Chain A
Amino acid sequence: MKEMIYQTVCPGCNIGCGLYIRENEEGALTVDFMKSSSANLGKLCRFGMKLPHHYSKATSMVDGKEADIDAAVKAASDKLKGTRNVTMLAVGATTNEEHLGFTKIADALGTVVNTGIGAYEEIPSECHPSISQGIPLDDIENAGRIALFIDPYVQYPLLVRRLLAAKKNGATIVSLTCCDLNLADENVSINPADYKTELGLDSNSIIITDVNPHSDAEQVKNLLNLALVTGSKIMFMKPFVNSTGVHLLGKSAGQIGLHDIMDGINDGSIKTLVTLNSDLLELMPNTADAAETLEKLDDLVVITSIDGPVNEMATIVIATEPLYAKAGSFMNVEGQVLNNSGESTVGIDAMSTLSQNLGGEAFDFQAMHSKMMESVVRKFTAPKYSELECKVMETAAPAENSGNLISVYNPFMWCNQTDDNDFVIVNMNMVDKLGLQKGGMISLTSDAGSVNMRYTVRDIPDGLILTMKKLPVVTGNTTEVKAEAV
């Protein structure tokens, strides 16, 4: 076999970094830089550089045994035919075209595809465009003032250079994240109700924040209000490469978020789940809890290109080609349609067969691509909405000898991929208070269990413990943990 070179997009977040994946004669992958890609100039973050590890190829399975893809599709058709109340989930970790194919299956089953971000459902639909599509990344560089609600270094690293460029052009940056940011002119902690008056934002400002399946809708509303009142632009980053695309392609009515899906499984109202490149074991904050919940399903049908942990639990796995090899497109946070150079349609074709077997439409890549172009490519107009009622709860200060363990969501965490992140971050006061030893460990205990971690010291507010890795003691975005020296 000759070396294959694919032009593709990094699946780490929705910035949409262009890159090449080179697959050599032996099938080994390397990343190469695509310097003409306007979103990233070919530059990649830690996650992008480690992409070859991410693309682990999935294997089709039926009832725990390896099968070929046709057999898996047939088995899935038999399983799903006539089944009522099928729940479907696709967070946007694959192409627009596959997502559309997946919605065709939903049509055949009389259901909708959920994209997993529950906050959408609690926010009036006229605000949705502001959440789903951001502003051109170049505009960040020309802003006058930027308010950051995310840690760009860890969460969306390709924003760092944009922010630095903005500073060079005279912008001031105010950070409201829990870690002091190097690039921020001001690192502040302000009561959410006072953002409007305290942050000094105006129509030349940009608010950069993110929305993900675990986001608190009230906070999202508060920031939408902030943008409305101050007239500043707002940019919601998202953790999945095609988060914007799937929102524009999907039906927004009747969707439920990840947490509602898990609740539904727990209370028995959801018995059958079909997922597309969405691994709930990776997506939920607590893997053990999620596994326990998924055990309760009658049937779990997984369509995926990745050999994720949930595949082991699935009744049926329909394994599609790796993301970089797929024919298809993505839409990044700017609303740019980015195309893969790959030509493989294994996933689309499998979904077409499945759809047909379930009494729905047959389709091919070309049809899905044209449909995507019709529905996705439209002129973006700033949506109009009026101030929303919201109530942002401030997180309670932790009790004595406890800390609030906060998950700093990042691509490695969403994909549960190993990285040099096997430690937590604390401040010097906690080191002194707990008597932590240099090179020693900190023990964290919550309702979910206990874990010993290495730690490092940064300038963060008292009582906080930050993790960039998914920890077994975590139960939500913030978990109160008892902290002790080991």
Chain B
Amino acid sequence: MMTDKEWTPKIVAFCCNWCSYGGADTAGMGRFQQPASTRVIRVMCSGRIDPLHVFNAFLEGADAVLVTGCHIGDCHYVNGNEKTEVRYQFLEEMLQQLGLEPDRLHLNWISASEGERFANFIKDVTAKVKELGPSPLKPAGVK
């Protein structure tokens, strides 16, 4: 058994190919310190992220899910991130009503050059989720 001190949350980060995925890369190259809690899933646009993917991440055992994409106005596909925003509002309201702690779901716009911003974002979320403990949706047997 792991003790609470050892526990690191599992965080699923959906990253847009054209921005935040690059941001994650930049964070690494710039040697910005960040916890090893994140599993990055690359998508071609944050608009591709269906609420279903977020549910799936939680049901499979993610302790937090991050939806990231390009700054509004910078979408590689004109307005994909605006669609993300609309969906995200519904998703956020829904998961909050469901009783999931708000700190387990985040939306953030991060460009490819914002490595430090990405690293800090991960650091912040990890710290918050560590305080919350494992997600109530984590299935039995998943650590």
Contact = CB atoms under 8 A, between A and B. Distances in A.
Nearest to A457: B141
Give the secondary structure class of A's interface: helix
A431 interface: yes
B140 interface: yes
Nearest to B139: A457
Interface string B115-143: 00000000000000000000000001100
Interface string B59-87: 00000000000000000000000000000
A428 B139 CA distance: 12
Contacts of A428: 140-141
Interface string A401-444: 00000000000000000000000000010010000000000000
Contacts of B141: 428, 431, 457
Interface string A445-466: 0000000000001000000000
A431 B141 CA distance: 10
A419 to B, nearest CB: 22
Nearest to A432: B141
Contacts of A457: 140-141
Nearest to B60: A438
Contacts of B140: 428, 457
B41 to A, nearest CB: 17
B84 to A, nearest CB: 29
Nearest to B61: A438
A195 to B, nearest CB: 31
A428 B141 CA distance: 8
A416 to B, nearest CB: 31
A181 B55 CA distance: 26
A457 B141 CA distance: 9
A473 to B, nearest CB: 26
Contacts of A431: 141
A457 B140 CA distance: 9
5 contacts: A428-B140, A428-B141, A431-B141, A457-B140, A457-B141
The 5 closest A-B pairs by CB, nearest first: A428-B141, A457-B141, A457-B140, A428-B140, A431-B141
